[in-house]
Amino acid sequence: MAKISILHTKRLLLGLTGGVAAYKAAEIARLLIQENVYVQPVMTKSACRFVGPATLQALTGNKVFTDLWDNRIDNNMAHINISREVDAILIAPASADFIAKLANGFANDLLSTLCLARNCPLFIAPAMNLQMWGNPATQRNLALLQRDDITILGPVKGSQACGETGMGRMLEAQELVEAMQIFFQPKLLQNNRVLITAGPTYEAIDAVRGITNLSSGKMGYTLARAALEAGAKVTLISGAVCLEAPFGVTRINIISAKDMLVAVRKEISNTDIFISAAAVADFLPTKINKQKIKKDGRSMSLKLTPNPDILEYVAGLPKSPFCVGFAAETENLEKNAEDKRRKKKIPLIAANLAQDTIGSDESALILFDDKGKHPLPKAPKIVQARRLIKHISLLYKK
C-alpha cells in the first residue's frame, strides 16, 4: 500500500458506485495523484462491473477495498479504519441507489458503512438517467442529504450513456478535482471580496483591426481559482481569452482598456483586494475608423493616445482596496518592478520576465513589498497563484 507521506497535501477516500460514469473516476484518481493527494479507492460490487479495481489500484498505488469483511485490516474494522485515515470522502459516481442508502442511513456494504461511520466531510457526485434524477424519491433523498450537510456536486444537463439527454450527467473529472482542491486549501481569504483583471485588452484601429498583446490570461485565471479556493468571493474582469472561469467566479468580459476601467469602477466599492493581472494596452489609436481602412500601397502612420492606468486609478481612490500589481519586464526586472510599485503607490507587486511567462503554464515570480523582495521559484501558475494569495493574505490581514 502507498504510504501516506509529507508530499501528500491531503488524503481522500474516493468511493465508486455502480454507473457508467465510473470510468471518469479513474481520471479523477489520476488528476488527484498529480496534485499530491493521497487517494484511497473503495468500490461497491456494482462499481466493479463498470471499471476494474486493478485500474484504480494502478493509478493510486493503493489497494482497493470492496468488502466489509476485508481481513487485510488488522482489527477487521475496515469501515472505521479506512475512514479515519482521510480528510474527506468523495463518492463519484454516486448512483440513485447509493444516494437512497445514504439518505436513510443504510450500512449493508463497505462504502455505505464507511460513510455512516465517517468523521469527515462527505461529497457526492450524482450520475444517473434523467428520469431517475427527476423522480420524486431521488429528489426527496437529495433534500435529506443536504440537510445532513453532505455536499452535492452537480450533476449537469448533457448527453447520457442511455442515449437520452438531460439532467443527471456527472460533472467532469477536472471539475470534481477542482471542487476538492477548493475544499482542501486553507481559507486564508474567507468571505473577502477579490477583484481580478486578466488577459489582454484590444484597442480597435478600425472595424476589423486592433492593437493587442500575447497575454493568455492564465495567471489571472489561476489567481481567480486560488482566491476562490481560499474562500474569497471572486470577480474576474477579463479580456478576450480562450479560458473558462473557475465555477463560482463571476466573470465580466471586456474588450478595451476603457471597457475594463468602466467595469472596475462599477465593482470597486465592493472590493477588499484588487489584483491587476491584466496586460492592459498602454496606448489606443487616437482615431478609430468605423470602416475597414483600405490599403493603397503607401505607408501610413498611427497616432496613439495613452490609456488610463487602471491600477494607479484604483490605488489613488480615497477608500482604495489592498492593491496588487504585476510587472512583466524584458530587462532590469527587479529595478523596474520596484520603481513601478513606488510610482503606482501599491503595497505589493509581482514581477516576472515577460519572455519566460507569456502563454506559459509556469512562471518564476519575485514579489516586492515594503519588507523587500521575496522570490517564488519557477512552478506551475496554479502553485504560484496559491503562494501569491498566501502572501497577500498575510499583508492584508496585518
Q: Point out the residues that are catalytic.
A: 162
Cα→Cα distances 36→31, 33, 83, 89, 250, Å: 9, 5, 19, 16, 28
Sorted by sequence, the CB contacts under 8 Å of residue 332 that are 6+ apart come out as none
CB 197 within 8 A of CB 314: no
Q: Which helix (H) or strand (E) holds 227?
A: helix 218-229
CB 376 within 8 A of CB 395: no
Q: Do strands 250-253 and 233-238 pair parallel, antiparallel, or not at all (unpaired)?
A: parallel
Residue 276 in the binding site for ligand C5P (CB under 6 A): yes
**Nearest distance, CB of residue 61 and ligand C5P, angstroms:** 42
**Nearest distance, CB of residue 119 and ligand C5P, angstroms:** 45
Number of residues that bind ligand C5P (CB under 6 A): 14
Select the span of 20-28, 61-69, 181-189, 272-280 touching ligand C5P (CB under 6 A): 272-280
> x/- binding map, residues 233-262, to ligand C5P, per CB under 6 A?
------------------------x-----
Residue 348 in the binding site for ligand C5P (CB under 6 A): no
Closest CA to 110 of 140, 75, 69: 69
Q: Please identify, using beta-carbon distances, which residue of 259 and 282 lies nearer to ligand C5P.
A: 282
Select the span of 164-172, 181-189, 241-249, 278-286 touching ligand C5P (CB under 6 A): 278-286
d(Cα 368, Cα 349) in Å, to the nearest integer?
A: 5
CB 12 within 8 A of CB 114: no
> x/- binding map, residues 306-345, to ligand C5P, per CB under 6 A?
-x-xxx-------------xxx------------x-----
**Nearest distance, CB of residue 278 and ligand C5P, angstroms:** 5
Q: Which of residues 191-210 bind ligand C5P (CB under 6 A)?
A: 197
CB 315 within 8 A of CB 306: no
Number of C-beta neighbours around residue 109 at 10 A: 20
d(Cα 101, Cα 123) in Å, to the nearest integer?
A: 15
Residue 280 in the binding site for ligand C5P (CB under 6 A): yes
**Nearest distance, CB of residue 18 and ligand C5P, angstroms:** 50
Q: Please identify, using beta-carbon distances, which residue of 113 and 276 lies nearer to ligand C5P.
A: 276
